[in-house]
Each structure stands twice: as C-alpha cells, then as structure tokens.
C-alpha cells in the first residue's frame, strides 16, 4: 500500500526523535539524558515523545520490532527442502558476508554498544528482546511442524538456534566495541558460524524440513 502524507510525517517525526535521542545517549550516556532534554532538542513536547515511545528504552531500541521476529521470519520463509536450522544459518551467513548493519557490522557501532554496556536498563531491555526472539521462534516452529502443546522439541530446537544467533550477535558486538574493521570481523564470524554448525546435531539440522513428510 502507498504511504499517505500523514503516515509519512509520523514516521519521519518518530525517526527524527529517535535519531536526536540516540545522538544524546552516545554523547552523554543513557542515564544522563532525560526525556525532557530529548524533547527540547527535537523541538517537540514531552507528550509527543511518549506518544511515539512509551518508555525511554524504546528511544534507543527503536528498531527492535524488526529484530524480535527475525528468526521466526527466517524459519517461515525457508526454501523447499530446507530445514529450520539451515534457513537460520543461511540467512545469518548472508547478513554477515554482506557486512550488514542489521547484525552490527557498521563503523561507529562501538559507540552504540558502549551506551548499552554502561546502562543497566538497556542491558535488561536487550535481554528481554532476546527472550522475545526465542519465544517467537518457538511459536513459528510449533506452527510450521504442527507440534502438540506438550511437545518440547520446538522449545529445544529454538534454544539451539537462538544460541547460534545470540552468540553471533554477542561476538560481533564484542569485537566492534574494539573499533575493528567490520570486514575483518565479518570474515572471522563466518568461520565461527562454520564451527557452530559443526556442533549442532543431525536432529537439529534436519528439524522442520519444508516439504518433508
């Protein structure tokens, strides 16, 4: 559908407020910046900020909606004859090989990560986002396989695939904090992904193959 003028202005306003807030957080730290200061810097009211972002943490993790269903989307979009694990590994490899900002491979990411490291509230929110990713993935696996409510396999498989994803993201974050070249980190993480795939059992690697009987 074509985006209307009203929707576009709202999206642009939301993005502008988030960008202003992120700049202040990077410059001064998350805890040192108030919502009132963000509103003043963005030339909007405090109520306007809260209309777009219910919590202060939302200003920093403004793109988390695209993250929490990432693994579930990859599983649902897997190819014919491809398992859930194969889809997740393929998508991760493609993102890492492309040196994608979506996995944190971007110059300046170190400043973003330092803000998180220095703010307990952001670390807690990041953990909560990880739990959402896991829950959405498990839900997708249950739907895709028709697993019964008391079947633990979707939960176990989600745990394994979540481990792969969270480890990759953690390693990228750790290395990018050192202000390293994203391309160099990309090459190392591709090797890590190969090692992690070798650690997964055949049962995990062959779970939820699309088109399988």
Render pLDDT for 82-132 as a digit per residue (tens, 0 to 9): 999 999 999 999 999 999 998 999 888 888 888 998 999 999 998 999 899
Average pLDDT over residues 63-92: 92
CA pseudo-torsion sign 176, 180, 183, 189: negative
Rounded to two decimals, the pTM is 0.85
Residues 115, 134: Cα–Cα separation, whole Å: 24
Distances (CA, A) of 62 to 22, 59, 145, 155, 161: 10, 5, 32, 28, 24
Task: Tell me the pLDDT tens digit for each residue of 145-165.
Answer: 999 999 999 999 999 999 999
Residues 20, 39: Cα–Cα separation, whole Å: 9
Residues 158, 138: Cα–Cα separation, whole Å: 5
The answer to whether the beta carbons of residues 43 and 12 sit under 8 Å apart is no
With CA atoms as reference, report the closest residue to 143 among 88, 203, 64, 84: 84
């Amino acid at each position: 559908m074509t985006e209307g003028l009203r929707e576009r202005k709202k999206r642009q306003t939301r993005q502008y407020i988030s960008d202003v807030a992120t700049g202040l957080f990077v410059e001064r730290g998350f805890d040192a910046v108030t919502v009132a200061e963000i509103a003043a810097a963005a030339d909007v009211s405090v109520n306007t900020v809260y209309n777009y972002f219910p919590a202060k943490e939302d200003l920093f993790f403004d793109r988390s909606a695209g993250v929490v269903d990432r693994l579930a989307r990859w599983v649902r979009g897997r190819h014919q004859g491809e398992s859930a694990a194969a889809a997740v590994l393929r998508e991760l490899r493609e993102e890492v090989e492309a040196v994608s900002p979506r996995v944190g491979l971007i110059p300046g990411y170190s400043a973003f990560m330092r803000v998180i490291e220095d703010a307990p509230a952001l670390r807690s929110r990041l953990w909560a986002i990880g739990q959402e990713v896991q829950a959405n993935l498990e839900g997708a696996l249950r739907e895709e396989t028709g697993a019964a409510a008391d079947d633990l396999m979707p939960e176990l498989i989600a745990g394994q695939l979540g481990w792969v994803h969270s480890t990759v993201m953690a390693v990228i974050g750790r290395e990018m904090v050192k202000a390293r070249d994203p391309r160099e980190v990309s090459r190392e993480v591709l090797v890590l992904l190969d090692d992690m795939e070798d650690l997964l059992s055949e049962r995990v690697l062959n779970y939820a193959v699309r088109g399988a009987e």
